[in-house]
Amino acid sequence: MIRSKFVLDILELLLDGPEADLPMLRNQIPFLNEEEREYTGFGVFIGFTYDSEKIKDYLIENSSIHVYDGVYINSEELNEDGAEGILHLKDGLINYLEIWCFSGTYPEKDLSTYILTQGWEGASGEKRSS
């Protein structure tokens, strides 16, 4: 289970795009557990494990897409340039979330105040905030 509202908000917005595989990936979210966080100074890698083999019912097979991006993060806790969330897949399953700052350093914690915005071409422009 993902306990971080911040991480869950990013995943839900990232997986709200036009690609055909996204509904299957959204179905993986309830099976994800945050396993590890690696802070790099410029961002963080959040790795996931799965609490059930049932997640494989939502496996994306033969997908040529391995990365989803396009959610931009603004916060008083970041440099004014903000950050971006990037979701990485491995073998058709959600593997880890990468968040990286466009400039400056990233704090070693979840952001407590933020505005997330979809930024890909044709995005609904949906926003989430804390």
Rounded mean pLDDT, 5-20: 87
Distance, CA of 78 to CA of 111 (rounded, Å): 9
Nearest to 116 by CA among 2, 3, 15: 15
61 Cβ neighbours under 8 A, 6+ residues apart? 92
pLDDT tens-digit readout, 17-59: 777 778 889 999 999 999 999 999 999 999 999 988 899 999 9
Question: pLDDT by residue (tens digit) across 114-124?
Answer: 999 988 766 66
Confirm if 77 and 111 have CB atoms less than 8 A apart.
Answer: yes
Contact (CB, 8 A) for 19 and 118: no
The full set of domain ranges for the chain reads 5-129
